[in-house]
Every structure is written in C-alpha cells, then in structure tokens.
A and B are shown apart, each in its own frame.
Chain A
Amino acid sequence: MENTGIAENQKAQFILKNQIKLLSEFPKTNAKECYSKKLDLNLNHKSAKFDFFSKLNSFFLSSNDLDDFIKLLQKKTFLKNYSKISLFIHEKGNIKASCFSYSNKKNISTLDVESFSQLFNSIKKSKDRSYGSIEIKGSQFDIIGTFLSHEYLLRYHSVILVIGNENFLPFSEEDKNIFHIIAPLLEVFFQVFIERADTVKKGFDIKEALNETFYKFSFTRDKKVLFSNLNNKSKDLVRIDVSNQEYFIVDFNNSKILNQAETFHQERVKVLGELFNTLKHELSNPLFGLELSTDLLLMGGLQKDQKEFLEQIKISIKSCQKIIENFKNLYSEEEKAEYFDIIELINEVFVLTKSKSRGLKRKVTSEHTSLTILSSRNLLAQIFFNLIINSAEACRNIKNAFLNIHIQTFDQYIIIEVSDNGPGVPVNIKHNIFTPFYTTKKDGTGLGLAICRSLILKLSGNLRLVDTSKGACFELVLPYESSSNRG
C-alpha cells in the first residue's frame, strides 16, 4: 500500500511538471487559465488527463491523416526521451498485419497475423505495459533498445503502439507515467484515423473499379461532379445526384435495363424457336417426301425435258431445306462455339432477309474467299440479321441503295464493317442507339442494336457505330485465330 502511495505521488509530480511545460507550449492558453489549471491540477489526475486530451485533440484537428498525427506526437511534446514510434495495425480477418515505423522517415512492413497476436497478447498481459528489455520476436521490425507499448482493440482493427528510445537506457519514471496516461487517450484518434484511411483506400479501389467498368457514371452533388468515369462526352451514362445525401446506393440502372432487354430477346427467341420447330417438322417431312419421290422418278427412263423439270424441282426442294436449316440458327437459344465460315453465314442471312430488303443491293467483300472462325453461329446470325434489317428499313426510299459487308482480319481480330448508303444515323441520336428501349421507329422495340451489342459482348467482341460522311457504318470486332495458329 505504502509503495503504491509513493508511486502515485511521484506520478502526479511528473504530470504536473509536464503539464506546465505543455501549457507553455499552448499559445492560445492565457496566463490566467494556466494559473487556474495549475491550481486545479493540484495533482489531480483526471484534470491532467483532460489537458493531455485537449492537446491531442488539437493535434488531431490539424492533421489530415495518421502520418501527420504521429509526426506531431514525435516532436517530443510529451516524453523526453524517445526517438521512434511504431504502430502495428491489424484489420480483423486479414492474414497480414502492417507495421508503420516513424523515426527520421516512415517505414512500412508487414508481418503475419500469428506474430502480431503473440505480440498483442504479451503486451496486454504485461503488468506495467513497458517492455524494457523484452524483445519483440523478429528483428525486422527494427525496434532496438527499450520501449513503451500499449495495445488497442478498435472496432475493426487491433493496434499496438510502441515507443522506442533507440538506446538501452530505460525510460525515466516520468516518461513511463505520462505514457500511461496518454496511451489510452490515443485510442479514439487511432480509431478515427485508421478507419478514415481505410475508407479512403476503399473509395480509391471503388473508383478504380468504376473507371474500368463498361457502364458510364457521373456522380454529382449540387451540380458539381464528384466522380465520373467518362473519357468523352458520351451521353450513354447513369447520372446519380447525391445532393443532401450522406450515403448513396449505386443503382446499376443501365445493366438492369440491358438485362431486361436480354430477357425480352431470349423470350422472343424461345417462343419463335418453338413455333419454328413445329413449322420445321411439319414442312421438312413432306419436303423430304418430295425429295425422295423426285429422286425415285429420276431413276426411271424419262424424256430429256421431263428430267430437267424434275432436276429443277429437286433444286427448289434443296433450297427450301437449306432455308429451314438456316432459320434454325436464327431462332436457336444455343450459344455453343463452333468453327464455321463467316462469309457463308452472311450469305445465308442475306437469303433470310431477302423479302425485307428488296431493292437493297447486298454484297460481301473480303480478300478472303472463305474465313473460318470459332464463334457462335447462332448469335452471329442474329446480329447480322438485325443489322441488315435495320439497314434495309433505313434505305427503303433510297435509289440505288446498297449494303456492303467488308470483312478483314487484323492480327488476332476479325473486323467486319456493315455499311450502307442510306440516310445514316442522325447526330442527335448517335449516343443513344445502343440504349435499350430507345427507338425512333414507329413500331420499334428499341431492342435491336442493344441486343446486338449485348450478344457481341458475349462473344468477346465489340460493336460500334463508325463516323462516316455518308450512310451508316457499324463495325464489329471479333476475336480471330488464324488457321496457322490453331491447334
């Protein structure tokens, strides 16, 4: 009991001394206050604590981050004899902890969670919370000599504060006592700084991620742009105004609409697919009967003109069968990748769009006569079907209308330009043409191009509108593997 009394007394004296020193550094504190505080203190521990706290608070207010705060602490304001402050911070759930040491310069290193826990527990258990000569396992943390330490259990983090003097002289009793008062006070500041840093980092990560996304955003508060991932003046974006809101929820509107469009498309393909399957069966069986019987008749002895008639019938039957087969591509939900000739596919789609594109001269140009690619036949047929129909509708009243599909390969890509000499896409709607449910047609669903784009993205390709002086030009890019590279 006696011993504690003496220690208590000594502690109080040290506090008082320091308090006076502290106050002298406090420019805003007037003499009267100093005096009253001095009296007040009267070895009053609680009051000393309060004063330390207000000092720390002023540090806090003038610091932007933990680094600034530590730098102020480092100015030996509280303790006489220390040269280095180290902070071990572990975010709960993380397998690594970080160590920040501040001496002449800042140093950052990491340690595994086991070493951290060991250190944390031994500090927690230690009676007077000063290690003196006890070493921290693993010298890579660069703590030489004696030190004082304190552990903190924050909301999301565990923190160990270590103050070292980098020599082997023990800390004075005075310093130890002051440390014991200050250390617990630091908790709230650490909590704020560490969580703030975390939030900043997470915000940074989110910004990075948003910058990379396909969707375009603009966050505004009171008409001021807070964040935007737009590189150009595209209007195809989600605008989010966060005025008067502490928190905001990012609603991926655009993707929702795109999903709706895709669902709509899938439903349509499904219904038409079922319809088409019935039709296919009902047509292909009798067609096959015609084919077989024509073949049978051709086997018999016939006159030349009779034979020619039958040959012609057979050709017609074959082309009917081919059309049925090709329609299957258009209304199939299957998306499997296969090798096929893209030029042949486009020619097949030309046949399927014939009635809709009467009067539109269509041709495929390429330095290749055939071009085998690995992609989804069905999805590409659907894309070309849409583009050709669009073009045909736009060119309906144009004389000498033509549609040209130019195919070229470039490195690992195949570039397909679908261009016509129609009226083109008006400047004011250019930015909206890929937006789902955006349409300028009377009976349009506004899905055609939105679906084309979403389908081509599925195929790891891209679709864009190319600026041209005349007509419209769409550019499709698909991955391409030349046959020599193919395994």
Chain B
Amino acid sequence: MKVLVIEDEILIQQSLKKMLEIKKALVDTTASGQEAISLIKNNEYDRIVCDLMLKDITGFDIIEESKSIFSKDEISKKFIIITAYSSGQVLKRANSYDCILLNKPFNNIQGAINTIITGENK
C-alpha cells in the first residue's frame, strides 16, 4: 500500500506518516504542491492524502493536474481531501470529484487513519 501525504504543517504531515506506517503503509510526504504533482506522475500511489491550502497551489489544482494520468473513477478513489475550511463552496467542489473529505481537526483520529487505509469513510 503506497500513500502520498501532501500537507504543509510538518507536525500533521509527520504524525500522519508515522501513523500510516504503523498500519504497514509505505508513505511519501511533501509540503509542496508542485513537488506533489511530479511525485504523483512518477509513482503509483494507492492513496493521496491532500490538504487544500498549500503554500504554492491548492489541492484542487493538484487534482486537476492528475486528470491527465487518472480516470475520474481513479481520482474519486485515490484522493482523500483534508481541510480546515469546510465552507459550502469548498464542499461543493470537493463533492464534484466524488472523493472522501475529512475535516481538520479529525473527530476520531484512528477512524481517519482507517479511512485513509481502506478508502472507505465509515
């Protein structure tokens, strides 16, 4: 299981990495959106955990870029959006990709880790 965590808050990024590694996942991390795009294009990730507000570009930009290599269905299954801004507009756009959205802070941390691993939001 290969996971990419795109998050610019280092404590969140590294904690998620360690927690996912406990669940036997191979985890790559990055804080940069541009780097994330090249990582996605050069690796085969089963799951991409993507923050929306990055320093260079937005998570939505990354998803749009990924359309060149992933089908619509693949996008909805691979991407998991994590965000602290859950305004109506953001929710609407996230829903248009039909992928899982997790609000930060997570209500249930272990539940969120399981969701990332399984790709199912219980």
- A-side residues, CB < 8 A to B, are 280-281, 284-293, 295-296, 299, 321
Contacts and interface: CB of A to CB of B under 8 A. Distances in A.
Contacts of A285: 9, 12, 84, 104
B57 interface: no
Given A285-B84, A286-B11, A288-B106, 18 more contacts: A281-B84, A284-B104, A285-B9, A286-B9, A288-B9, A288-B84, A288-B104, A288-B105, A289-B9, A289-B11, A291-B105, A291-B109, A292-B11, A292-B12, A293-B14, A296-B15, A296-B19, A299-B22
Contacts, number: 46
B8 to A, nearest CB: 9
Interface residues of B, number: 17
A425 B10 CA distance: 54
Given A281-B53, A295-B109, A321-B105, A288 B22 contact: no
Contacts of A288: 9, 12, 84, 104-106
15 contacts: A280-B84, A284-B105, A286-B9, A288-B84, A288-B104, A288-B105, A288-B106, A289-B10, A289-B15, A292-B11, A292-B109, A295-B15, A295-B109, A296-B19, A321-B105
Contacts of A289: 9-12, 15
Nearest to A295: B109
Contacts of B15: 289, 292-293, 295-296
A292 B19 contact: yes
- At the interface, is chain B mostly helix, strand, loop or mixed? helix
Contacts of B85: 281
A291 B12 CA distance: 9
B84 A292 contact: no
Contacts of A292: 11-12, 15-16, 19, 109
A49 to B, nearest CB: 78
A287 B11 CA distance: 9
Contacts of B18: 296
A84 B84 CA distance: 84
A107 B75 CA distance: 82
Nearest to A281: B84
Nearest to B13: A289
A287 B105 contact: yes
A6 B71 CA distance: 108
Interface in B14-73: 14-16, 18-19, 22, 53
A299 B113 CA distance: 14
